[in-house]
Amino acid sequence: MHYTHLGRSGLRVSRLCLGTMNFGPFTSEADAFALMDRAVELGINFFDTADVYGRKRSEGITEHILGRWFAQGGGRREFVVLATKIYGMMDAPARSDPNLDRGLSARKIIQGCEASLRRMQTDRIDLYQMHHVDRLCPVDEWMGAMETLQRQGKIYYVGSSNFAGWDLATACTTADLRASSARLVCEQSLYNLASRTIELEVIPACRHFGLGLIPWSPLGGGLLGGALAKAAAGRRAAPDFEKQLAAKRPQLERYEALCTKLGAAPGDVALAWLLAQPVVTAPIIGPRTMDQLTDALRALELKLTPETLQQLNEIFPGPGGSAPEAYAW
């Protein structure tokens, strides 16, 4: 396994991050335990979850699964760099509570952290991420809440997810002015060969402020994992996915032909492309099976040549670089 620093922090994480969103809804607890055990054996030390993950988001089912896995001991919690998130709606058990709605108030962050700690049966969260930007909450408020949790030893690092470039700039500048310990160390965004919008402003902001980038949906929901070949083999997909296939068929035909020429699986190429991007820390893989987990490791050894990277950029050209040069003189 290869490791790298998370942004400008001293924290070292594996180049692949184990995403747990399938644990509960699609992967049984027993299978999730086996996947996490195997991930640790393979050297993956970076696990990502969220309070809302699970079949019933208000119950924190996925965090509960992680907690029961940690409770088995054997150094599981000590090895794992644990990342979870706060922002989403968590319903009250008996009545509607507007302060459990989406947002980043100090009350929600501090109470949400306490609840995540209880569910995961741990005394600290290594990386506490804001799942979405809340522009109705002052930056000073959520940053102060994160500082409080850091002083209490309940969280170590702070990250964001789904922030715009100017949100990242605002947060980092505010932290610098406050000399805050809650300065962002990373941003988690939608990023893959077929979804490159963040190259306009989010990636330049990450580069400027020294933030690591953690891409979610690295295979584009399956589009970049050999979708055409699987469809030709009789694998049926949901109607919405069929529409995506139809819309991107010309690109996918060229992409899968290039992967065949390289002698590499399409999913491996998609992950290797992300790993070749300088700002990327670790793509989030979300395996449902053991084969999917072990297959993902092939991308770590797949080195794409400059020629191959150029061909991939021609198939999936992206927005044309960073703003404003991508669209202005």
Asked if residue 258 is part of any domain, the answer here is no
* pLDDT value at 298 more than 80: yes
DSSP state of 276: T
Q: Tell which residue, 278, 215, 221, 228, has the closest CA to residue 258.
A: 228
Cα torsion 284, 290, 291, 296 to 10°: value is 20
What CATH number corresponds to the domain at position 100? 3.20.20.100
- Could you tell me the two tokens for 298? 């092939």
Are the CB atoms for 128 and 113 separated by under 8 Å?
A: yes
Residue 102's pLDDT is what? 85
Strand pairing class (212-216; 284-285): unpaired
DSSP state of 192: B
Residue 266's pLDDT is what? 95
DSSP 100-144: GSSS--HHHHHHHHHHHHHHHT-S-EEEEEESS--TTS-HHHHHH
CA distance 247 to 241: 10
CA distance 71 to 83: 17
For the chain, what is the mean pLDDT?
93
Catalytic positions: 53
Residue range(s) defining the domain that contains residue 29: 3-226+265-305
Asked if residue 289 is part of any domain, the answer here is yes
Q: Tell which residue, 207, 200, 203, 194, has the closest CA to residue 273.
A: 194
Asked if residue 153 is part of any domain, the answer here is yes
Are the CB atoms for 25 and 54 separated by under 8 Å?
A: yes
Domain count, the chain: 1
- List the single range of 91-105, 111-125, 258-272 with lowest mean pLDDT: 91-105
Are the CB atoms for 109 and 97 separated by under 8 Å?
A: no
Quick one: which H or E segment has residue 146?
A: helix 139-151
Q: Tell which residue, 157, 188, 142, 150, has the closest CA to residue 284.
A: 188
Asked if residue 244 is part of any domain, the answer here is no
CA distance 74 to 33: 13
- Tell me the per-residue pLDDT of 153-212, one tens digit each, with 9 for 90 and over: 999 999 999 999 999 999 999 999 999 999 999 999 999 999 999 999 999 999 999 999
- Tell me the per-residue pLDDT of 7-31, one tens digit each, with 9 for 90 and over: 999 999 999 999 999 999 999 999 9
DSSP state of 88: S
Could you tell me which residues are beta bridge partners of residue 101? none
* pLDDT value at 101 more than 90: no
- Tell me the per-residue pLDDT of 242-292, one tens digit each, with 9 for 90 and over: 888 888 899 999 999 999 999 999 999 999 999 999 999 999 999 999 999
Angle at 71 between CA 83 and CA 123, to 5 degrees: 50
Asked if residue 252 is part of any domain, the answer here is no
Asked if residue 233 is part of any domain, the answer here is no
Q: Which residues contact 158 (CB under 8 A, 6 or more apart)?
A: 127, 128, 129, 130, 146, 150, 182, 183, 184, 185
Asked if residue 321 is part of any domain, the answer here is no
Asked if residue 101 is part of any domain, the answer here is yes
- Could you tell me the two tokens for 161? 């997810």
Model-level pTM?
0.93
Confidence band for 241, pLDDT divided at 50, 70 and 90: confident
